[in-house]
């Protein structure tokens, strides 16, 4: 927001303008819905126009303020258009959640030597370059208002070293690295940049890439021995989008029920 007071409710995102990339379905839609329910003005950004428009309409029907903007995170012009649309409608951008990523469409896990160059480049472009482009697009607005929160969705696979997932893991490792680097550059502008590294979420996307027998095995290995749902991410991300996280930057919060520790 334009200004923040210590007298304000520090963990509140009420009236914050928050962009969620990859927000049309899956975890992104869950995040967008949660943030809207907490009083944020949400910009749903995605290449999936039908799903994104439907979600924004649902959020607005529920009494919140949201809109959909078709966005391709690997296209710099598209990212600039997204930022301009948010500022045009709301006058500011308070937070960006960089959630857009290639995951389910990987189709299957592969030995690192069997990954095609095209697949490697595609994953790196969306999962890593997209984070950089989106952050660069919102930076001028955040700098001008002296306030901003960037939350990048990484992955606990970086900490666990998951096999047969080298391109995805590398892309998420890059997200953590760029989080740290940009955080050092923009802190003086009142902007924080952090990452959240989820564990394996028990949903359709994960089921498309993993044998179903893997999920109960993973649950037993967690300190909190249960399945992980998209809702398990919302608290951490809401906190990092709020004024309460104002002295935290460059950090990666692992949210996986205590399977790996950073």
Which two three-digit tokens encode residue 103?
A: 């995951």
For residue 103, what pLDDT is reported? Answer: 81
Which two three-digit tokens encode residue 77?
A: 């012009």
CA 199 to chain centre: 14
pTM to 2 decimal places: 0.92
Identify the CA nearest to 70 among candidates 51, 87, 89, 57. Answer: 51
**3-state per-residue secondary structure call for 98-130:** ECCCCCHHHCCCCCHHHCCHHHHHHHHHHHHHH
Strand partners, 11: none
Query: Residue 42 phi/psi, 5° resolution?
Result: -110, 130
Query: Residue 45 phi/psi, 5° resolution?
Result: -115, 125
Which positions are annotated as active-site residues? 168
For residue 205, what pLDDT is reported? Answer: 66
For residue 108, what pLDDT is reported? Answer: 80
For residue 4, what pLDDT is reported? Answer: 47
Rounded to whole angstroms, the Cα distance separating 56 from 62 reads: 10
For residue 107, what pLDDT is reported? Answer: 73
Q: How far is CA 66 from CA 35, 114, 161, 219, 223, in A?
A: 10, 42, 37, 35, 37
For residue 9, what pLDDT is reported? Answer: 60
**Residue numbers in the chain where pLDDT is lower than 50:** 1-7
Count CA atoms closer than 13 A to 163's CA, side-chain side: 1
Identify the CA nearest to 25 among candidates 51, 6, 44, 60. Answer: 51
| Helices assigned H by DSSP within the chain | 26-37, 49-61, 76-90, 117-124, 130-145, 157-160, 166-186, 204-207, 214-221, 231-240
The CATH code of the domain at 17-103+117-198+229-255 is 3.40.50.720
Which two three-digit tokens encode residue 89?
A: 């409608």
For residue 214, what pLDDT is reported? Answer: 74
Indicate the DSSP class of residue 24.
S
Cβ 197 vs Cβ 173: under 8 Å: no
CA-based R_g, the chain, Å: 17
Which two three-digit tokens encode residue 21?
A: 């990339």
**239-255 per-position pLDDT tens digit:** 999 999 999 999 999 99
Q: Return the SS3 of 129.
A: helix
CA 88 to chain centre: 23
Cβ 153 vs Cβ 198: under 8 Å: yes
């Amino acid at each position: 927001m334009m200004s923040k007071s210590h007298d304000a409710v520090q963990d509140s995102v009420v009236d914050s303008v928050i962009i969620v990339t990859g927000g049309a379905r899956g975890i992104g839609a869950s995040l967008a819905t949660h943030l809207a329910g907490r009083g944020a003005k949400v910009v749903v950004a995605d290449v999936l126009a039908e799903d994104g428009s439907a979600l924004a309409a649902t959020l607005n029907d529920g009494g919140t303020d949201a809109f959909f903007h078709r966005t391709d995170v690997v296209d710099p012009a598209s990212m600039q258009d997204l930022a301009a649309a948010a500022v045009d409608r709301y006058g500011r951008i308070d937070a960006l959640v960089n959630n857009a990523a290639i995951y389910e469409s990987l189709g299957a896990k592969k030995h690192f030597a069997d990954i095609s160059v095209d697949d490697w480049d595609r994953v790196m472009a969306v999962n890593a370059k997209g984070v950089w482009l989106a952050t660069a697009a919102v930076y001028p607005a955040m700098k001008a208002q002296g306030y901003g929160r960037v939350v990048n969705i990484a992955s606990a696979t970086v900490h666990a070293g998951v096999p047969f997932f080298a391109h995805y893991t590398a892309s998420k490792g890059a997200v953590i690295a760029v989080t740290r680097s940009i955080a050092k550059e923009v802190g003086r502008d009142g902007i924080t940049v952090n990452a959240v590294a989820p564990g394996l979420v028990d949903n359709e996307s994960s089921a498309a890439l993993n044998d179903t027998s893997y999920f109960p095995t993973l649950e037993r290995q967690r300190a909190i021995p249960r399945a992980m749902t998209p809702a398990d991410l919302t608290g951490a991300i809401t906190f990092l989008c709020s004024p309460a996280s104002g002295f935290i930057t460059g950090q990666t919060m692992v949210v996986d029920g205590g399977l790996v520790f950073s």
